[in-house]
Structure 1
Amino acid sequence: MRIITANTNGIRSAGRKGFFEWLAKQDADVVCIQETKAQRDQLEDPLYHPEGYTTIYCDAIKKGYSGTAMYCKKPPNNVTTALGWDPLDSEGRYIRADYDNISVISMYLPSGSSGEEAQARKDVFLAKIYPHFLELKASGRELVICADWNICHKEIDLKNWKANQKNSGFLPHERAWLDKVYEEGGFVDAFREINQEAVYTWWSNRGQAYANNVGWRLDYHVVTPGLVPTIKAADVYTDERFSDHAPFTMDYDYSL
């Protein structure tokens, strides 16, 4: 099972930069997209409906903002795109595809970088989504939560960690929330199971951040423990730049 997660920072922009040509060569079973920044009526071109995949889009009410998508080679048994609370529902931040014994989630957590109000909304989101994770895990299903988490967990996960300790994305309480997801919730950062190196998935468009690899690891596969023995490989693709994030692929010895 190959699962790709990618924040496209505008799926139409990524499409113009060759994202879908790259994707066609990846033989992914599930593709999780965040930040589509488009409405479905703007995505009628076949480019945005990859051949051989069931296509799911979840749009924000606000045009040109947020939004998630999922492309599934095997049609899911069930799809969920709302949990009954905002901003998750109104901003199109969640898609879950359920199969027989496993669920795959594409999720886009809010950023708090624009100010105190944005950070407060992010904190509310974190408080509300955590019990949902526990509920899904308690059902006994395996889970792969693919997301732009908008949080770096450890110092190794961003280049300039000392200078960012008071900035959204590396605040102590955000990092403690991820600690809770892993330690109390029992979830696992799949990438860190097989790679302990400083690897980044997002680079600011300011200055020469990408050229100098001054990045942040914001895009994770978070999985249930039962999937840990199945983890085979991980890859962050940086040969081409489709977005300010890089596509992140993981392979599992597991069949949908």
Structure 2
Amino acid sequence: MRIGTHNVNGIRAALRRGFTDFWADAGADVIALQEVRCQVEDLPAGAFGAYHATWDAGQKAGRNGVAVLTRQAPARVRALDDVAHTVSPDGSPEQVPVTRIVNRDLAAFRDEGRYVEVDLADAPLRVASLYLPKGAAWPYEENSKDKYDRKMRFLRGLARQITASRREAAQDGREFLIMGDFNIAHTKQDLKNWRTNQKSEGFLPEEREWLDGVISPRRMIDVVRNLHPDQDGPYSWWSWRGQAFTNDSGWRIDYHLASPNLARQASAAWSAREDSYDARLSDHCPVIAEYELDGLS
């Protein structure tokens, strides 16, 4: 099964830049999207082709929004709020059960469209799409503590949610995969200019330590790093400004974190970096992996 994640930085803009053609050629079975930035009623007809789209758009116009695209309507949906819904390829609503996630810290973000997860109907797998707050570089940046504290609160809640979802999925005979924009580069291998970013949001020691606590052989595996242990990158985000993309001065902040048994079934993973600046679909490129689900037991 081919599975991808993509922060599209606005689905309507990504559609104009070639989103549909890219994913048609990629042949993914499941796609997690972040920063969709579009209400369902405003989505252009046929935007997702033959996929069923499970969506939490959030309530902030033009901001955030997460989705999971699947070949079949999911068996179940879980979200921070109970407004997430599934639409068929023709845009009509589908009656899929939605369960609200109970999490004290994440409840403060329930109307922001930052987290949704689905149980696949055609595989023993639970898939989540995540858009984590960017945060701020407090105390190195003035007037930034509120943004910093919000991210730290989200991280506390998310760590508990990842553990709960992994365990609940296992009880249901499913593996767990969370993908998306974590807005954290884990190690020096994960951003080009790490020396000058040690006091920047996304590479603060406490953010990296949080990932240390989430990623472990018995909990969740970083699939891309597991398959490319000695490679710098492969990066997934580059600033639109300057020569960052041309010089490959990027950050790896878009992840596939998989339960250990699922991670063992990953045979390939890559960042689908576009060939040129003008061909970019977003400031993030897709991150795709192949999983041999026949090996799950």
The equivalent of 2:97 in structure 1 is: none
1:254 and 1:101 map into 2 onto residues whose CA distance is: 8
Matched, 1:18 2:18: yes
Helix, strand or coil at the partner of 1:200: coil
The equivalent of 2:246 in structure 1 is: 211
> What's the offset of the Cα at 1:188?
0.6
Contact 1:187 1:224 in 2 (8 A): yes
The equivalent of 1:33 in structure 2 is: 33
> Counterpart of 2:117 in structure 1: which amino acid?
R
Report the count of equivalent residues. Answer: 254
> What's the offset of the Cα at 1:44?
4.2
| TM-score, normalisation: structure 2 | 0.81
Structure 1 stretches of at least 4 aligned residues deviating more than 3 Å after TM superposition:
84-88
Percent identity, please.
38
> Counterpart of 1:143 in structure 2: which amino acid?
F
2:3 and 2:261 map into 1 onto residues whose CA distance is: 16
> What's the offset of the Cα at 1:237?
1.2
Helix, strand or coil at the partner of 1:215: coil
Helix, strand or coil at the partner of 1:150: coil
The equivalent of 2:79 in structure 1 is: 81
More displaced stretch, 215-224 vs 237-246: 237-246
Higher RCO (CA < 8 A, seq sep 6+): 1
Unmatched 5+ stretches in structure 1: none
The equivalent of 1:243 in structure 2 is: 282
> What's the offset of the Cα at 1:60?
1.7
What is the root-mean-square deviation in Å for CA atoms of aligned residues? 1.7
Matches within 5 A, 1:1-256: 1-47=1-47, 49-51=48-50, 53-82=51-80, 83-84=101-102, 85-99=106-120, 101-113=124-136, 115-139=144-168, 140=170, 141-183=174-216, 186-196=219-229, 197-198=231-232, 199-239=234-274, 240-254=279-293
Contact 1:10 1:35 in 2 (8 A): yes
Contact 1:96 1:106 in 2 (8 A): yes
1:105 and 1:111 map into 2 onto residues whose CA distance is: 18
| TM-score, normalisation: structure 1 | 0.94
> Counterpart of 2:194 in structure 1: which amino acid?
W
The 1:183–1:228 alpha-carbon spacing in structure 2 relative to 1, beyond 3 Å, is closer
> Counterpart of 2:146 in structure 1: which amino acid?
E
> What's the offset of the Cα at 1:86?
3.5
Unmatched 5+ stretches in structure 2: 81-100, 138-143
